[in-house]
A = this chain, B = another copy of it.
Amino acid sequence: MTAARRIVDADGLEALTMRRLADALKLQLPAIYRVFTNKQTLLDELAEAILAEALPDGRGDHWTAEVALLAGQLRTALLAQRDGARIVGGSYAAKRNTLTYADRFVGIMRQAGLDGTAALWATSTVFCYVLGEALEQQGQSADALDRLDRNAARETYPQLFATPVEEIVNFDERFEFGLGLILDGLRQRLHSAGPAEPGAGRARPAPAPPRPGHRPS
């Protein structure tokens, strides 16, 4: 597994072939299939290994801090591995670590006061957003911004070039901004009863009754 990650880190996901992995492990090619039955299961386990780093050790004192921590740690885990977002996004297995991550996230949102369905959807919203951001960041080639003809583009895309376009590539602040939007949206749903009281905190405990029509099988 570490050998596989090293290959991807060095030469990208395309370079990860069963043959190169066998070479790195000083095995003959068919011996790999005794460890991984498939290339897909290899990729699935790679996704698992990446997501193992997505769970923060500590805990935030407030649900907003906890969500920021979980989202940030997931992002860090994806970015720590070259092509990490593509690996995780391309693995469609019910990954154990994804479920652990989701379980913790859902727990925080329910404790904050969201009902079950909203807690579930909030989890998927943050997960999808973080994945999308990491995918874009890792896909951006270094010279992508410089490659387009600024003078021509300035006339074709006037609105876009009325902004400081270099800020697209300010990934850290860009991520904080987007996450902040989602957090604000969540805050608003938790305070929906009374008028918005910015930074007041202290959410009601969740009743969160599971739906009556929930089939157990």
Mark A residues whose CB is within 8 Å of B: 86, 89-90, 92, 94, 99-100, 102-104, 106-107, 110, 116-122, 124-125, 127-133, 135-136, 139-141, 144, 147-148, 150, 153, 156-160, 162-168, 173-174, 177-178, 180-186, 188-189, 195-196, 208, 210-211, 214-217
B92 touches A141 (CB 8 A): yes
Number of copies: 2
Most buried by B among A119, A148, A188: A188
A124 touches B178 (CB 8 A): yes
B90 touches A174 (CB 8 A): no
- The A interface is mostly helix, strand or loop, or mixed, namely helix
A90 touches B94 (CB 8 A): no
Give, as a whole number of angstroms, the nearest-CB distance from A50 to chain B.
16
A120 touches B168 (CB 8 A): yes
A99 touches B157 (CB 8 A): yes
| A127 and B181 alpha carbons, distance in the complex (Å) | 14
B131 touches A214 (CB 8 A): no
From B102, B117, B178, give the contact of A164 (CB < 8 A). B117
If A181-B185, A184-B188 touch, whether A210 touches B99 (CB-CB below 8 Å) is no
